[in-house]
Chain A
Amino acid sequence: MAWIPKPSASMKIERRDEPYLTQAMKDELSQRYLPRFETTLAALLPALHMIQHEYHWVPPQAMEEIAEFLGLSPADVLDTATFYEEYALAPRGRHVVGVCRSIACEFCGQPQVTQAIKDTLGIDVGETTADGKVCLVELECLGSCGTAPAALIDEELHEQLTPQRAAELVRQVRSQDAPPPASGREGLAPETASNAPKGASKSAPKSAH
C-alpha cells in the first residue's frame, strides 16, 4: 500500500520510560551502518528494520528516538516509515502470516489457502486473533511464483502450500508459547499485556539483517 497514508495524524503516542532504540542498536547503527552512507538519513531503513524486527511494529516513540539519534526531524522518519509496507505503525499480532495473492499464486490455489487459514484462525484478512498472536495479511508477489502458492510467516517463506499444510502451519505458529514482548501488544490486548513484565523481551537484541 505504497501511497495510502497511514493514520499518522490521529496517532496516539503512548510513551514508556525505557527507550525502544537500545544502546546495542545505536552501536550497531553507528558502527555498521552509518560509515557506509554519506547521509544519516540513509541509515533510516536499517534502523526501522531493527525496531520492526525487535518489537514487531514501529512505535511512534521509537521513530522519535531514531530521529534524535540520526539528527533528523521526526517528520522525516514518519515520511519514510509511512511509505514502506513492511513497517507496521500500529501493533499487529506477534506473528504475521502473509499470504501471496499475486498472479501465479492466485491461479495456483491461493484462495483456498487463504480460506483455510481464515477458518483455522477465525479471522479475516487484515485482522489479528483475539489472543494477539497471529495476524493474517495478504501480500503482493513474494518471488516464489514457480512454487506457488506461497506464504511468508514472520521471516520464513513457505512454498507449495496446500490448504491443509497452511492450516497446520498457522496452528503451529499460534501454539508457539514464547510470550510476546509487552511493547508489541499494548492497545491490542491490554489485560494480558499488563501481566507481562515491562520490556520482558525474551530474545536478545538481534539485528534485522
Chain B
Amino acid sequence: MAWSPKFTQHALCKRIPTWPYADPKDRHVVSYDEYVKTGGYEGLRKALTMKPGDVTEAVKKSMLRGRGGAGFPTGLKWTFLPKLDEGQDDLSKRGPRYLAINADESEPGTFKDRLLMDFDPHLVLEGIAICCYACRLDKAFIFIRGEYHHQAHVLEKAIAEAYDNGIFGPKGLINSNANTGGAKFTVDCYVHRGAGAYICGEETALLEGLEGKRGWPRIKPPFPAVEGLFGKPTIINNVETLAHLPSIVENGPEWFMAQGVESTVGGPPSYGTKLMGVSGHVNRPGVYEFELGIPLRTLIEDYCGGIRGGKKYKAAIPGGVSMGILGTDQYEAELDFDIGRKYNVLGLGTACPTVFDEDTDMVAVARNISRFFKHESCGQCTPCREGSGWLYQLMTRIEEGHAKTKDLDMALEIATSMGSMPGTTICGLADGNNWALRTIMNKFRDEFETRVSPSHVAVKMTIGAAAHG
C-alpha cells in the first residue's frame, strides 16, 4: 500500500522551505517582523485568551509526544508540576518555577532541532512562551550545545526581538492579560551554552549543567517536575516539542490528531508531524517534515532520491545511534512510536534515519558507535563507564581481525548486563549502547562471524615414543 501524506502543508516548516513543497535553497532566518506577518505569535495570542489549565488540557488531548527521543506525552508531563493555589500567579508569593529547553542535540545522526534554531527561532520562542503560560513557569533556559555557535547567536538575537515586542520580560506576554487574575505574570528567557558533553542531553544532566556542575545525571525520583533546577519545579522539553505548541493551540488538538497514525500494537498513538533528518548514503540528505507513520522506504525512495550511486539499501538507524539498527529486511518499517515494539529496536528516537548502502561494513559501524559511547559515558556508573570501554576494545579487535568467536558472545554479554538489566545505571546511556551494539550484532551476525577466528582450534599432537621416533 502506497503511503501518501494526509496534509500537504508543513506545520513546523511553514516558514522554512523544505522538500517536497519548496526548495531548501530559499532558506533564510525568519525575523520577528516576517514571523508575525506570516501568522506568527497567533498561537500565543490565542493561548493568552484561554485559562492556563485549558491550554494544558488541549496539549494533553492532542497526545503530543515528546520529540526528543523518549516520546513521553508532553501534556501529561506538565501535569506532574505541583498545583498552584489561587493567587499564586504572582512570583513574589511563591518560589520560581523553570522551563529548561533541551537544545543539546548531540546524538550522532540527529540534526533536526538545528533547522528550527537556524531558520525559525521565533517558532521555538512562541512555543516556550505558550508552555510557560500554560504551566506558570517564570524563567526559561535554552540549554544549547556548545558546538552550535551560530544557532546560539540566532537565538540570542531572536530573544532580544521577543523582549522588544512584548513576548518576554516585564512588558511581556503581549502585555499581560486578564487570565492571571490581575496578577503580574512575566517570563524571562535565556540562552545557556553547554560545553561539549553529550550526556547533558539527558534531562537531569542538563539541569546539572545549567547549575554549573559536572553533567552527571541525577537519580530519580524526585522527578524534575517536583525538584528540578535549583531544587524548584522544572519542566524539560525538546525544541521540536515546543515548536509544535503554537499550531496545536491555534488549530486545536483535533487538527493535530488528524495527522499521523494510531498505534497498531495497542500503545499510545503517534499523532502529528515530525522532523526527519535523513543522513548517510542517500542522494538528497537533509531535514524533512512528514507525518509519523511514513515507511522508511517511501521516505528514502520517494523523497530523498533513493540510495546514493544506485546501490541497494542495507541498514538504517531509525533516530540516533542509541536506538539500534533496522536490518535489510526491515526497509518497510513505519517511522512512528510503535517502531520499537514492531521491529526490535529501542524506539523511534529522534526519527532521523542514518541510512547505509550495501557496501557498508557493519563491523565498522559497530566500532564507530561503541567509540562514541565510550567517549561520552559520563563515568558516574561503573557498568557504563567500564562496559563502554570494553565494548569499544572488543569492536576494534573484531574489526582488525584479532578476535575469536567467543568474543562475540562476550560482547553481547557485556552489552546486555550493562544495558538491559534494570537498575544497573542511573540514566539511559548504557541502555542505548546496549541496544545499538546488540541489534547490529544480532541482525548482521554473519558479518561479525566472518571477521573472527574460531575459539576452539583442533591441534594435532603426537605424544609418547612416536613423537621422538
Q: A45-B209, A80-B212, A107-B360 are in contact. Are A145 and B147 (CB under 8 A)?
A: no
Q: Complex: how many Å from CA A145 to CA B377? A: 21
Interface core residue of B190, B193, B195, B378 (most chain A CB under 10 Å): B195
A143 touches B147 (CB 8 A): yes
Whether B195 pairs with A141 at a CB distance below 8 angstroms is no
Min CB distance, B206 to chain A, in Å?
12
The answer to whether B379 touches A3 (Cβ under 8 A) is: yes
Interface of B, helix, strand, loop or mixed by DSSP: mixed
Alpha-carbon separation in the docked complex, A145 to B280 (Å) = 7
A143 to chain B, nearest CB (A): 5
Known A-B contacts A41-B213, A83-B214, A104-B279; the reply to A143 vs B110 at CB < 8 A is: yes
State whether A84 and B195 are in contact (beta carbons under 8 Å apart), knowing that A39-B212, A103-B365, A143-B111 are contacts in the complex: yes
Q: Check: A57 CB closer than 8 A to any chain B CB.
A: no
Across-interface contacts of B147 in A (CB, < 8 A): 86, 139, 142-143, 152, 157
A191 interface hit (Cβ, 8 Å): no
The 8 A CB mask of A62-93 against B (1 = contact, 0 = none) is: 00000000000000000110011111000000
**A148-B279 contact given A45-B212, A86-B146, A102-B368, CB 8 Å threshold:** yes
B107 to chain A: which residues have CB within 8 Å?
A: 141
Which of B109, B212, B352 is packed against the most chain A CB atoms within 10 Å?
A: B212
Whether B195 lies near A48 (C-beta < 8 A) is yes
Contacts of A148 in B (CB 8 A): 279, 285
Determine the chain A residues whose CB is within 8 A of the CB of B356 once the complex forms. Answer: 107
Complex: A208 Cα to B156 Cα, angstroms: 12
| A205 sits at the interface (CB 8 A) | no
Q: Taking the nearest CB of chain B, how far is it from the CB of A160, in angstroms?
A: 10
B196 to chain A minimum Cβ distance, whole angstroms, is 4
A84 CB contact (under 8 Å) in B141, B150, B194, B232: B194
Within 8 Å by CB of A143, from B114, B196, B354, B378, lies: B114
A28 within 8 A of B: no
Report how far A106 CA is from B285 CA in the complex, Å: 15
B230 interface hit (Cβ, 8 Å)? yes
Partner of A42, one of B156, B196, B211: B211
- Find residues 177-199 in chain B having any chain A CB closer than 8 Å to their own CB: 188, 190-199
CB-nearest residue of chain A to B98: A38
Instruction: Check A2 against B199 for contact (C-beta < 8 Å).
Output: yes
Say which size band chain A's interface belongs to. 35 or more
Question: Which of these, B110, B199, B364, B385, contacts A145 with CB under 8 Å?
Answer: B110
Cβ contact within 8 Å between B156 and A140: no
A163 at the interface (CB under 8 A from B): no
Q: What is the chain B residue whose CB lies nearest that of A155?
A: B149
Q: Closest chain B residue to A43 by CB distance?
A: B212
Taking a contact as CB atoms under 8 Å apart, the answer to whether B212 and A102 are in contact is no
Provide the residues of chain B in CB contact with A43, threshold 8 Å.
212
Which B residues lie within 8 Å of A103 (CB)?
108-109, 280, 317, 321, 354, 365, 368-369, 372
Is B139 interfacial (CB-CB < 8 Å)? Answer: yes
- Contacting residue for B149 out of A1, A41, A139, A156, CB 8 A: A156
Question: What separation, in Å, do the CA atoms of A37 and B352 have in the docked complex?
Answer: 34
When the two chains form the complex, which single residue of A1, A46, A145, A156 contacts B109, counting CB atoms closer than 8 Å? A145
Task: Report the bound CA distance from A83 to B360 in whole Å.
Answer: 34
- A93-141 contacts to B, CB under 8 A, are 101-104, 106-108, 139-141
Asked if B105 is an interface residue, CB under 8 A from chain A, the answer is yes
Flag if B215 contacts A2 (CB, 8 Å).
yes
Q: Is the CB of B279 within 8 A of A85?
A: no
> Is A146 engaged at the interface, CB distance under 8 Å to the other chain?
yes
The reply to whether the CB of B106 lies closer than 8 angstroms to some CB of chain A is: yes
Q: Which residues on the A side are within 8 Å of B232 (C-beta)? A: 38
Contact assessment for B192 and A86 in the assembled complex, using a CB-CB cutoff below 8 Å: no
* A-B complex: 9 closest residue pairs judged by Cβ atoms: A3-B379, A84-B195, A145-B279, A44-B212, A102-B108, A85-B196, A86-B196, A86-B195, A83-B214
A: residues with CB less than 8 A from B are: 1-4, 36-39, 41-46, 48-49, 79-80, 83-87, 101-104, 106-108, 139-148, 152, 155-157, 208-209
Given contacts A2-B199, A36-B139, 18 further A-B contacts (CB under 8 A): A36-B188, A38-B230, A42-B210, A48-B195, A79-B213, A83-B197, A84-B194, A101-B371, A102-B368, A103-B317, A103-B368, A104-B354, A107-B280, A140-B106, A144-B114, A145-B108, A145-B352, A156-B149
User: What are 13 A-B pairs with beta-carbon distances under 8 A?
Assistant: A2-B197, A2-B377, A3-B379, A38-B232, A44-B212, A83-B215, A83-B378, A102-B321, A103-B317, A104-B279, A143-B110, A145-B277, A209-B193
